[in-house]
């Protein structure tokens, strides 16, 4: 007697006696529980991230005020090693500090006394030394500002900067 079954049925046969079926109700319950587990995970992640943003930045001594001349600057690393930042002393003696990471594509920003502005050479982005806001070029937002504190003639970075 000739076998009339197609090849795939004999090659990949299913033992229906051994195979267990999942009912539509069981599958729906599985989807519901899976969705609930994912929703719970998302809520937990939001809680963890909210806790992280509350972490405080280190307090780092940058320089003595008198060691930076008006329209001068000093580079430092903040909030950690490898995150480059720049401290500016303006003509009136006030101070500003920013991350040196350009918010466009991450090149280093530097200060030019001649133009009294912060510049990114990669795509000609220009920033205000007073506010860190964009003056010209492709960056869509300003530089990350670093909070400063001056105590007894010493300048400290106390917060902000590159995330």
**The token pair that represents 122 in the structure block:** 């990669």
The least CB distance from residue 123 to ligand FES, in Å, is 3
- Contacts to ligand FES from residues 36-95, by CB under 6 A: none
Out of 107, 135, 148, 158, which residue is the one contacting ligand FES (CB under 6 A)? 107
- Burial (CB count <10 Å: 0-12, 13-18, 19+), residue 121: exposed
Q: At 122, is the secondary structure helix, strand, or coil?
A: coil
Nearest by Cα to 69 from 86, 93, 85, 87: 93
Per CB under 6 A, 125 contacts ligand FES? yes
Out of 98, 104, 146, 161, which residue is the one contacting ligand FES (CB under 6 A)? 104
Per CB under 6 A, 122 contacts ligand FES? yes
Out of 79, 132, 139, 160, which residue is the one contacting ligand FES (CB under 6 A)? 139
Q: Residue 39 — left, alpha, or beta (φ > 0 → left; ψ -120 to 50 → alpha)?
A: alpha
**Interface ranges with ligand FES (CB under 6 A):** 102, 104-105, 107, 120, 122-123, 125, 137-139
């Amino acid at each position: 007697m000739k076998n009339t079954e197609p090849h795939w049925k004999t090659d990949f046969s299913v033992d229906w006696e051994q195979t267990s079926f999942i009912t539509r109700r069981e599958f729906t319950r599985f989807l519901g529980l899976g969705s609930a587990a994912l929703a719970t995970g998302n809520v937990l992640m939001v809680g963890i991230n909210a806790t992280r943003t509350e972490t405080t930045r280190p307090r780092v001594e940058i320089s003595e005020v008198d060691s930076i001349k008006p329209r001068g600057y000093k580079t430092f690393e903040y909030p950690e090693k490898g995150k480059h930042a720049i401290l500016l002393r303006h003509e009136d003696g006030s101070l500003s500090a920013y991350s040196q990471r350009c918010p466009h594509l991450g090149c280093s920003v530097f200060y030019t006394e001649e133009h009294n502005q912060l510049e990114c050479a990669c795509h000609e982005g220009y920033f205000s030394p007073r506010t860190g806001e964009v003056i010209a070029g492709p960056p869509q937002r300003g530089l990350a500002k670093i909070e400063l504190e001056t105590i007894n003639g010493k300048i400290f970075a106390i917060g902000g900067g590159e995330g």
